[in-house]
Structure 1
Amino acid sequence: MAAPFIESLLAAERPLIMEVKRHDGDGDDLLGTRTVADVVAAYEAAGAPCLSVVTGRWFGGTEEMLAEVAGLTDRPILQKDFITRRAQVARAASLGASAVLLTAGLLPKSSIAALVDECLAAGLTPFVEVTSEAEIAAVPHAEACVLAVNNKDIRTRERDAGDTGRSLRLLPALRRAGTPCPVSASGIDGPAVAARLLDAGYRGLLMATSLLRAGDLDGFGARLDEHRGRRVPLGGGAR
């Protein structure tokens, strides 16, 4: 049986993982006058099947924000941070996370294997971020993981515009690996690009900046529905 995080995405009509993040890669404020509770309520009203909370300090996040979001919603929650130790996995579970981010490009194979095992033992979904076929091939138990292509460059703290074409190029490798829930993450700058990725076969999209700046989430969802099934050019990244 799939974990709740994966189940929620696979069952969603609009499988958007909507993210709570205070700052973008340039340090610009994304919440404005809104509270975390305001953002969570808006995401729930828009039908978000899962939420993501950035706890990394470089994006203005904190563990307290994760605990706050967990207290506000029953949606499965991804913790986004640099998880490198087993103790952090246990901490994520205690704060209310359902999934944790593991960044393949920053971890040796042995660490990836150990952390995936630790997540599964704790009942958490390993959400493994990848940028190449080699990183995909190094993920163990892919059938129990979300494999997520990051369209941006984590080495520059995701300040680049992003390359959503990377997701299209790597989708066959994700399918071969056996993940039930391939995800495209970051740099998805609008409904047309989101629709193109979903139509290609992605079962989830992780979105933050474009949603937090959209203002009208209902309108975003309606435009996404309008584009589904159309072939539209891939655009640049979220700004």
Structure 2
Amino acid sequence: MTFIDALLTARRPLVMEVKLRDPHGNDLLGPRTVTDLVAHYEQAGAPCLSVVTGRWFGGTTRLLREVTAATDLPVLQKDFLTRPAQLEAAHAMGASAVLLTAALLPAASLRRLVTTALALGLTPFVEITDERELDHLPHPDQCVIAVNNKDIRTRERDPGDPTRSLRLLPALRAAGCRAPVSASAITDPATAARLLDAGYAALLVGTALMRTGDLHTWLADLDTARTGAAA
């Protein structure tokens, strides 16, 4: 199953993230092994995983290989990818999706990378922070379009603003996106529930899930919050 299809058919559409450090350099893995963490996410019902290979967060491509070897779930490589050769390498290492950060890519480069990713069978996971970054995006119906609630200019050390996702959702829908995602600064189940109930197809949650001492309770609280909102 492709990354985008796994999200769109998930009962609880959370992309659960594997990263070694938070934006301030603090260790997130602790005494756990990567394999243990992946198994924990699988047992919790994750439809997809994200692996941060960017050096800001202590990542390497070795981490991607370790995760893809440990799971059959679709995996996103989360890094600043800017060249077709990097997408080919991601595919070779078992990734199912690749991060493309619109703010860092000229329009022509973004179009080329989206087309290359799709040709390789990868889901383009296009990250935006502004409605203008949707301009000239090809094949929006085949992309995951993710609103980053934090600021990459500060290496995501800011607290973030989930209301950015709420403001941009109509633009994502108007662009033809089937799989809008809200990412970063989702610190608690109530925030996650609000974003899903607003119409987001999925969420990417990293630090909050890695830091929680009880993943199953965090997820149960999300389910309860969504039920309460629906009622």
Which bin holds the TM-score, normalised by the shorter protein?
Answer: over 0.9
Amino acid at match of 2:153: R
Of the candidates 212, 218, 221, which is equivalent to residue 220 of structure 1? Answer: 218
One-letter identity of the residue aligned with 1:118? T
Equivalent residues of 1:196, 1:230 under 8 A apart: no
Aligned-partner Cα distance in 2 for 1:35–1:108: 38
Percent sequence identity over aligned pairs: 63
Cα distance in structure 2, aligned partners of 1:135 and 1:150: 12
The size of the alignment, in residue pairs, is: 230
1:67 matched to which residue of 2?
Answer: 65
The Cα shift of 1:217 comes to 1.0
* 1:229 CA drift (Å): 4.5
- Which one of the candidate residues 204, 207, 216 is aligned to 1:206? 204
SS at match of 2:160: coil
Structure 2 unmatched runs, 5+: none
> Distance between the aligned counterparts of 1:39 and 1:69, measured in 2?
9
Partner SS for 1:228? helix
| Aligned-CA RMSD value | 1.1
- Can you list the C-alpha shifts for 1:145-201, whole angstroms capped at 9, x where unaligned? 000000000111100000000000000000011111000000001100000000000
SS at match of 1:195: helix
Aligned equivalents of 1:42 and 1:156: distance in 2? 31
Which residue pairs with 2:117 in the alignment? 119
8 Å Cα contact 1:199/1:229 also seen in 2: no
Q: Which residue of 1 aligns with 2:34?
A: 36
| 1:97 alignment counterpart | 95
Name the amino acid aligned to 2:202.
Answer: G
Q: Does 1:9 align with 2:7?
A: yes
1:38 Cα deviation (Å)? 1.2
In 1, Cα distance between the equivalents of 2:26 and 2:88? 31
How many Å separate the matches in 1 of 2:181 and 2:25?
Answer: 25
Describe how 1:71-90 pairs up with structure 2 within 5 A: 71-90=69-88
- Deviation per residue, 1:94-117 (Å, 9 max, x gap): 000000000000111010000001
Question: For 1:6 and 1:144, how far apart are their aligned partners in 2?
Answer: 8
Q: Which blocks of at least 5 consecutive residues in structure 1 are unaligned?
A: 233-239
In the alignment, what sits opposite 1:185? Answer: 183
The runs of at least 4 aligned residues of structure 1 exceeding 6 Å deviation read none
Counterpart for residue 56 of structure 1: 54
**What TM-score do the two structures reach when normalised by structure 2?**
0.97
Offset of residue 231 of structure 1:
4.9
Distance (Å, rounded) in 2 between the aligned partners of 1:215 and 1:49: 21
Offset, 1:140: 1.2
SS at match of 2:72: coil
CA deviation after TM superposition for structure 1 residue 57, in Å: 1.1
**1:149 and 1:136 mapped to 2: Cα distance?**
11
The amino acid across from 1:122 in the alignment is L
- SS of the residue aligned with 2:36? helix
Residues of 1 paired with 2:227 and 2:166: CA distance? 16
Shift of 1:137: 2.3
Corresponding residue number in structure 2 for 1:236: none
